[in-house]
Structures are given as structure tokens and as C-alpha cells.
């Protein structure tokens, strides 16, 4: 996993790793043209992981008084909405349009954790007790 995803809090980093793996599994399933119900199943798993992870991360941001919390929460909301749309799009074989459209819609997944960079920097600078 790319180091930029590391927050320095073990529990959150473990969640990031799992999300990264499941997002990769979604991309692999789409690329290998797996049956759409299999893709849907993995997207549902990703959605549940994200929902839980974002709630945990938002608690941590409140605890450490992260100044950009509102912006960060907005990104979480938008990501959840996007994955929710993917969930709906993968419900039926042609639910979200043709395969090429769907592949494009999934293309943001490898970057799903990139927005945590600022939070990682804040924790490293202000909460050394958490850090490495
Ligand atoms: Fe985040
Ligand atoms: Fe995160």
C-alpha cells in the first residue's frame, strides 16, 4: 500500500489496507468481466467498509481537533454517494450502462484513500504520540 495512505494510527491504517484490497478486487472483477452480481457483491462490501471507516475517521478528527474536518466530511459524503450509485449500477447487467461506462465509473477507486493525506500530515505534526 502506498505510504501516503498511512495515518499513523494502527486501527485506521488497518482499515485503509482492507479498503484498498477490496477496491482492487472491484477493479479486478470489472476488468476480468466477472458476472455483474459478483461485482455487485464486492461493491456492497466496499460500501459497508467505507461507511464504517468514515464514521471512525470522523470521530478521530473530532478528537484530534482536525481543522479541515468539514471539508473532509464532505469528501466522505461524496465518495459514499458515488459508491452508492455504483451499487445501484451493478444491480442488473445493464443497470449502469455499457461496460465501458461502468469501467470509467470505477476508475476513481484506486484513489479512494488519497484525500487522507492532509489528515496524516496533521496527525504526524500535532499528535506525535499516535505516530511512528
Ligand atoms: Fe478520509
Ligand atoms: Fe480514510
Distance (Å, whole) CA 129 – CA 101: 45
Q: How many CB atoms lie within 10 A of CB 33?
A: 10
pLDDT, residue 93, reads 65
Q: Average pLDDT of the chain?
A: 86
CA of 35 to the centre of ligand 1 (A): 30
Mean pLDDT of 84-93: 84
Query: What pTM, to 2 d.p., does this model score?
Result: 0.87
Assess whether pLDDT exceeds 70 at residue 27. yes
pLDDT, residue 90, reads 85
Domains in the chain and their CATH numbers? 3-126 (1.20.120.50)
Range in 43-47, 57-61, 84-88, 105-109 with the lowest mean pLDDT: 105-109
pLDDT, residue 104, reads 78
CA of 101 to the centre of ligand 1 (A): 26
CA of 37 to the centre of ligand 2 (A): 27
Mean pLDDT of 94-123: 79
CA of 64 to the centre of ligand 1 (A): 14
Q: What is the DSSP string of 21-79?
A: HHHHHHHHHHHTT--HHHHHHHHHHHHHHHHHHHHHHHHHHHHTT-TTHHHHHHHHHHH
Neighbours of ion ligand 2 (CB under 5 A): 57, 116
pLDDT, residue 73, reads 97
Amino acid at each position: 500500500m502506498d505510504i501516503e495512505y498511512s495515518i499513523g494510527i494502527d486501527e485506521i491504517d488497518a482499515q485503509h489496507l482492507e479498503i484498498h484490497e477490496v477496491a482492487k478486487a472491484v477493479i479486478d472483477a470489472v476488468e476480468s468481466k466477472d458476472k455483474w452480481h459478483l461485482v455487485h457483491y464486492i461493491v456492497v462490501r466496499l460500501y459497508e467498509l467505507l461507511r464504517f471507516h468514515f464514521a471512525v475517521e470522523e470521530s478521530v478528527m473530532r478528537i484530534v481537533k482536525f481543522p479541515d474536518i468539514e471539508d473532509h466530511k464532505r469528501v466522505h459524503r461524496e465518495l459514499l454517494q458515488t459508491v452508492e450509485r455504483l451499487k445501484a449500477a451493478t444491480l442488473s447487467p445493464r443497470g449502469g450502462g455499457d461496460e465501458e461506462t461502468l469501467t470509467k465509473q470505477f476508475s476513481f477507486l484506486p484513489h479512494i484513500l488519497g484525500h487522507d493525506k492532509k489528515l496524516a500530515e496533521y496527525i504526524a505534526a500535532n499528535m506525535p504520540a499516535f505516530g511512528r
